Amino acid sequence: MGGGQRAAAEDHVAELLIRRLDDVTGALEGLSQVLEQEEDLAVILDRICKQVSQAIPGADMVSVTLLSGEGPVTRAATRQEALDLDLAQYRADEGPCLHAARTGQVVHAMAVEVPRRWPGFDAEAAGSGVTGYLSAPLCVDEGIPGSLNLYGARTDGFRALDAALLELYTTAAEAALRNARRYLRARGQAAQLRQALTSRAVIDQAKGIVMAVHRVPAEEAFALLVDRSQRENVKLREFAERFVDDILGGDD
What whole-number distance in Å separates Cα of residue 38 and Cα of residue 92? 35
Q: What pLDDT, in 10s, does the model give residues 72-122?
A: 999 999 999 999 999 999 999 999 999 999 999 999 999 999 999 999 999
221-225 average pLDDT score: 77
Domain with CATH 3.30.450.40 in the chain: 3-185
In the predicted structure, residue 137 carries a pLDDT above the cut 70: yes
Strand, coil or helix: 124 = helix
What's the sign of the alpha-carbon dihedral 139, 45, 175, 185?
negative
Greater model confidence, 94 or 242: 94
Reference 139, options 22, 227, 245, 48; nearest CA is 48
Please state the length of the chain: 252
φ, ψ for residue 143, nearest 5 deg: 85, 5
What whole-number distance in Å separates Cα of residue 225 and Cα of residue 91? 57
Reduce the secondary structure of 195-247 to three states and give it as a string.
HHHHHHHHHHHHHHHHHHHHCCCHHHHHHHHHHHHHHCCCCHHHHHHHHHHHH
pTM flag (> 0.85): no
DSSP state of 127: T
DSSP state of 182: H
- Looking at residue 185, its pLDDT comes to 59
Domain 3-185 class in CATH: alpha beta
Are the CB atoms for 152 and 59 separated by under 8 Å? yes
**Those residues with Cβ within 8 angstroms of residue 83's Cβ, 6 or more apart along the chain or in another chain:** 63, 74, 77
Domain with CATH 1.10.10.10 in the chain: 188-251
Greater model confidence, 134 or 215: 134
Strand, coil or helix: 151 = strand
What whole-number distance in Å separates Cα of residue 209 and Cα of residue 205? 6
- Looking at residue 10, its pLDDT comes to 38
In CATH, what is the architecture of 188-251? Orthogonal Bundle (1.10)
Q: What pLDDT, in 10s, does the model give residues 43-84?
A: 878 888 888 888 888 899 999 999 988 899 999 999 999 999
- Looking at residue 12, its pLDDT comes to 36
Reference 160, options 12, 27, 20, 11; nearest CA is 20
**CA terminus-to-terminus distance, the chain:** 96
CA max distance for the chain:
102
Residue-by-residue DSSP string for 11-75: HHHHHHHHHHHHHHHHHHHHHHHHHHH---HHHHHHHHHHHHHHHSTT--EEEEEEEETTEEEEE
Q: What pLDDT, in 10s, does the model give residues 138-197?
A: 987 777 899 999 999 988 778 888 888 888 878 777 776 766 565 455 455 555 555 655
- Looking at residue 96, its pLDDT comes to 95
If you average pLDDT over each of 33-37, 159-163, 247-251, which comes out highest? 159-163
